[in-house]
Structure 1
Amino acid sequence: MLTTSKSLSISGQSSISGQQVMNFSATIDQSNGRSNITQAVLNKDLYDSNKTEVRKDAADFTDLVYDQEDKMAEADKADTAS
């Protein structure tokens, strides 16, 4: 039996002086609204010397994912109420 699911993927990068320092990736399962967020440091030296800025980017990415989760939950409530 075939089982399928839909998900929303979001990706982002934190860069310093045009060089990528960290990659971000998130997947939100559209059937249950659960998300999975991953981060990968690409340049440890730039990360170590710019932690405040890179961590701010990481927090902004997480906030963006949470905002999308909330929008999906609101749309699901509206569909259920209809």
Structure 2
Amino acid sequence: MALKGTKNIALSYQSMIGDQVAVYMTAQIPESGRSNSNKTIQDLDLYEANKTECRADMAEFDAMLFELEDQQAAETEETLEESEENQEVTE
């Protein structure tokens, strides 16, 4: 008996100016580590008036995404190595 499955990470963040959403940011990180991310400017006028803050939030989101991608890729590599070691033992 073995536990088998996949691990996916989903991110959903907003760049807020006061209580208003300026930018939506989402990402999906599958087990392979190859992510898919999107940024959508929700309120163009709000974004234009607050570009510096919005861009700082987007940079923070990207940094978080890159860190999670690297962690996911490292975990996947460890799992593959363990699987190969287990296969060698059983042969």
Range into which the TM-score falls when normalised by the shorter chain? 0.7 to 0.9
Tell me what 1:51 maps to.
51
Q: Report Cα offsets for 1:29-48 as digits up to 9, x if no partner.
A: 21x21111101111111100
TM-score, normalized by length of structure 1? 0.84
Shift of 1:6: 5.2
TM-score, normalized by length of structure 2? 0.76
Tell me what 1:33 maps to.
33
Tell me what 2:24 maps to.
23
State the structure with more CA Rg.
2
> Structure 1 residues 5-14 or 66-75, which shifts more?
5-14
Counterpart amino acid of 1:15? M
Tell me what 2:78 maps to.
78
Q: Give runs of ≥4 in structure 1 deviating > 6 Å.
A: none
Q: How many residues align?
A: 78
Gaps of 5+ in 1: none
Percent of aligned positions that are identical = 34
CA-atom RMSD, angstroms?
1.7
Normalized per residue, the structure richer in strand is: 1
Normalized per residue, the structure richer in helix is: 2
- Partners in 2 of 1:77 and 1:61 — Cα distance? 24
Counterpart amino acid of 1:61? F
